């Protein structure tokens, strides 16, 4: 019979990595991306926002619990907002129901607040969301999700046909090519100015390189187009969902008139349809935003369900729950995806 009294909570150390990866596999299974040392180093050490703080629970000389927080940076009205995202949480099956999750979380939140993080956020599923509420997390919003069928008849029969290979995007440009586009930095800067009044991840070359070009085991592709002073760029990837080939538009960056952007978007979608073999597209955009208008004009439909963003303030005097639980967010799928 295990007991909570014999569990020690401490910060994770460099030498814990092998045991941490073993724990994640035992508790969570293989995952959508292999949990390798290379992937861990990319996610938690190479992150341009900083290395991830993590805490472990140790019992009988063995790591039986893990709580990791991915550092993230937002910007709002010209101010830098430091935050963390709750990720990579695990308790060994033999040590569940011992209060390990609660102990790790309480220890972490105290230390994160001392370290300057203003809030913690994540997108828990319905089952784990109840536990987060007990720890002080509050729902912020459900980001609007938009879907457009590309091959509706094939979608209808996908489940019956069984497992298929993911869509092949190899003919489309990689993210490195987009980053090499001479106008790219200006486009990203224009987006930052347009999103100034919303809480958004500040895009720059280093962040986008890390997030989409350097990630091990995930192949992101890109498309872009210009029309005079107007420009539009998108970063995306594909995956299988219930044997359907889904394409996630992780970033949608644009400038210029809405009319020009709609025309550019229509051209990019036509090329995507011609040079890939996806069944449907998914994107997100804030309600009543230019990006949402762009998707709606391209016949994307509002999905009935989507992820729930939950937050917990760590320094209420600066960024309170009332402000976080609002529509002030400028979210892309790239902000919501987890691996």
Q: Is residue 163 part of a domain?
A: yes
Over residues 125-133, the mean pLDDT reads 85
pLDDT tens-digit readout, 237-260: 999 888 889 999 999 999 999 999
Domains identified in the chain, total number: 2
Most confident listed range (15-24, 107-116, 133-142): 15-24
Q: Would you state the pLDDT for residue 121? A: 95
164 and 97: one domain?
Answer: no
20 and 56: one domain?
Answer: yes
CATH number for 250: 3.40.630.30
Over residues 68-97, the mean pLDDT reads 95
Most confident listed range (129-143, 144-158, 269-283, 312-326): 269-283
Last residue of a domain, one of 111, 141, 171: 141
Is a pLDDT exceeding 80 seen at residue 33?
yes
150 and 252: one domain?
Answer: yes
Please give the mean pLDDT across all residues of the chain.
91
pLDDT tens-digit readout, 254-296: 999 999 999 999 999 999 999 999 999 999 999 899 999 999 9
Which residues are paired to 282 by β-bridges?
Answer: 147, 248
163 confidence band (pLDDT: 50, 70, 90): confident
Q: Is residue 172 part of a domain?
A: yes
The answer to whether the CB of 83 falls within 8 A of the CB of 273 is no
265 and 119: one domain?
Answer: no
The answer to whether the CB of 89 falls within 8 A of the CB of 67 is yes
Q: Is residue 255 part of a domain?
A: yes
The answer to whether the CB of 155 falls within 8 A of the CB of 280 is yes
Is a pLDDT exceeding 70 seen at residue 17?
yes
Q: Is residue 324 part of a domain?
A: no
Q: Does 154 or 200 have the greater pLDDT score? A: 200
Nearest to 23 by CA among 58, 61, 65: 65
> Could you give the residue ranges of the DSSP H alpha helices within 135-183?
152-161, 175-179
46 and 193: one domain?
Answer: no
Nearest to 334 by CA among 111, 162, 143: 143
166 and 290: one domain?
Answer: yes
100 and 75: one domain?
Answer: yes
Last residue of a domain, one of 87, 109, 141: 141
8 and 125: one domain?
Answer: yes
Exposed/middle/buried for 25, CB within 10 Å: 0-12, 13-18, 19+? middle
**Can you spell out the DSSP letters for 279-337?**
SEEEEE--TTSHHHHHHHHTT-EE-S----EEEEESSTTTS-HHHHSSS-B---HHHH-
The answer to whether the CB of 91 falls within 8 A of the CB of 101 is yes
Q: Would you state the pLDDT for residue 5? A: 62
Is a pLDDT exceeding 80 seen at residue 326?
no
157 and 232: one domain?
Answer: yes
Q: Is residue 337 part of a domain?
A: no
270 and 153: one domain?
Answer: yes
Q: Is residue 319 part of a domain?
A: no
Residues of the domain holding 135 = 4-141
Percent above pLDDT 90 for the chain: 75
244 and 163: one domain?
Answer: yes
Q: Is residue 329 part of a domain?
A: no
18 and 91: one domain?
Answer: yes
227 confidence band (pLDDT: 50, 70, 90): very high
Q: Is residue 338 part of a domain?
A: no
Last residue of a domain, one of 108, 124, 141: 141
135-144, 183-192, 213-222, 225-234: the lowest-pLDDT one? 135-144
């Amino acid at each position: 019979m295990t007991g909570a009294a014999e569990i020690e909570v401490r910060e994770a150390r460099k030498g814990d990595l092998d045991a941490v990866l073993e724990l994640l596999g035992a508790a969570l299974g293989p995952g959508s991306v292999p949990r390798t040392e290379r992937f861990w180093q990319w996610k938690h050490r190479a992150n341009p926002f900083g290395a991830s703080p993590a805490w472990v629970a140790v019992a009988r000389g063995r790591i039986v619990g893990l709580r990791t927080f991915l550092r993230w940076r937002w910007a709002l009205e010209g101010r830098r907002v430091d935050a963390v995202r709750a990720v990579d949480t695990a308790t060994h099956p033999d040590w569940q129901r011992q209060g390990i999750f609660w102990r790790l979380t309480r220890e972490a939140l105290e230390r994160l607040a001392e370290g300057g993080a203003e809030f913690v956020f994540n997108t828990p599923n319905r089952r784990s969301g109840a536990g987060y509420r007990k720890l002080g997390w509050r729902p912020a919003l459900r980001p609007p999700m938009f879907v457009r069928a590309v091959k509706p008849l094939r979608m209808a029969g996908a489940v019956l046909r069984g497992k298929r290979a993911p869509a092949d995007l190899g003919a489309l440009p990689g993210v490195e090519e987009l980053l090499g586009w001479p106008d790219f930095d200006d486009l990203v800067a224009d987006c930052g100015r347009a999103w100034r009044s919303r809480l958004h991840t500040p895009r720059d070359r280093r962040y986008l390189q890390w997030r989409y070009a350097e990630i091990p085991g995930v192949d992101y592709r890109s498309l872009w187009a210009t029309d005079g002073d107007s420009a539009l760029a998108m970063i995306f990837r594909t995956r299988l969902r219930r044997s359907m080939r889904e394409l996630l538009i992780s970033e949608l960056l644009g400038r210029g008139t809405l009319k020009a952007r709609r025309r550019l978007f229509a051209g990019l979608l036509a090329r995507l349809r011609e040079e890939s073999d996806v069944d449907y597209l998914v994107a997100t955009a804030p309600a009543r935003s230019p990006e949402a208008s762009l998707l709606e004009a391209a016949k994307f439909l509002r999905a009935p369900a989507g992820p729930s963003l939950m937050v917990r303030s760590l320094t209420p005097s600066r960024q309170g729950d009332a402000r976080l639980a609002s529509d002030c967010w400028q979210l892309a799928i790239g902000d919501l995806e987890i691996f």
